[in-house]
Amino acid sequence: MSGWTIGILGGSGLYAMDALEEAQWIQVDTPWGPPSDELLLGRIEGVRFVFLPRHGRGHRIPPGKVNARANIDALKRAGCTDILALSAVGSLREELAPGRFVVADQFIDRTFARESSFFGPGLVAHVSMADPVCPRLSELAADAAEAAGAIVTRGGCYLAMEGPQFSTRAESRAYRQWGCDLIGMTAMPEAKLAREAELPYALVGMVTDYDCWRESEDPVDVGDILAQLQANAGTARRLVVELARSLPAERPPSPIDTNLDTAIITAPEARDPAMVAKLDAVGRRALRK
């Protein structure tokens, strides 16, 4: 395979990738602090993969403390061309039962205590998030999930909440009224940062529970979620293998590869050198022009 290096962000219950050949854990330093863990590099079916457990091995990091800037920067430094996020999610729809895989295509960001951009004073950029995922990678991921044996829904709106607490019943009902299909705690600002890093991003939500909008049922219980996570994790690992088998031999260019060309607004002579230095991986291509 030529040109593909797929970054895998593994969510709850997915802390390693057994199918990787020539696998090795490496430490990557970033100007944004340490990523969640070392990166696991290897190949599947000749395709290069870089795996990063979002919560760290052993699930040490709560959602609000995941250093998403460091994670995305580290994947970029490791040479990733695209990112597939695998995330445990709650369902806000009756038809999206536990065990189903949903390939999200929209997000609503309700997080409030996280750094959500690589850019800031001294170097300003505004990327478009109208279509927040890569349709090409999303389709490939959906096909791979089906090949791995999952029941797949293509398209869905993911509500990103701050956490770490689960929703109130009133919140869960409100999110349903907004048209949301899934709820989770990690997709934002992850998807925004991937876009700023010019990395096509797709998210497969692995449904573990029905949140708490079903009035006749008990609220979300971590024990029940963990049981469903184990079943989902095996399918997720098979999904990655099927994705490797199905990728086109040559990676075609994506518009996301160059989206900073129309996003950076600060004039070259006005850019803060310290900010430019911090963006040596994320903005390397655009800032060298």
> What are the b/e assignments for 90-103, b being 16+ CB within 10 Å?
bbbbeebebebbbb
How many other C-beta atoms are found inside a 10 Å radius of the C-beta of residue 231?
A: 14
Take residue 172 and report the two structure tokens written for it.
Answer: 């869960």
Any idea what the Cα angle at residue 104 is, between residues 108 and 189, rounded to 5°? 45
Residue of 206, 232, 214 whose CA lies nearest to 167: 214
- Sequence letter at residue 281: A
* Catalytic site residue from 209, 218, 221, 224: 209
* Catalytic-residue membership of 211: yes
Residue 160: φ, ψ to 5°: -95, 115
Has 73 been annotated as catalytic?
Answer: no
C-alpha span between 171 and 175 (Å, rounded): 6
Report phi then psi at 250, rounded to 5: -115, 135
Catalytic residue among 211, 218, 224, 261: 211
Residue with tokens 């048209």: 179
Active site residues: 209, 211
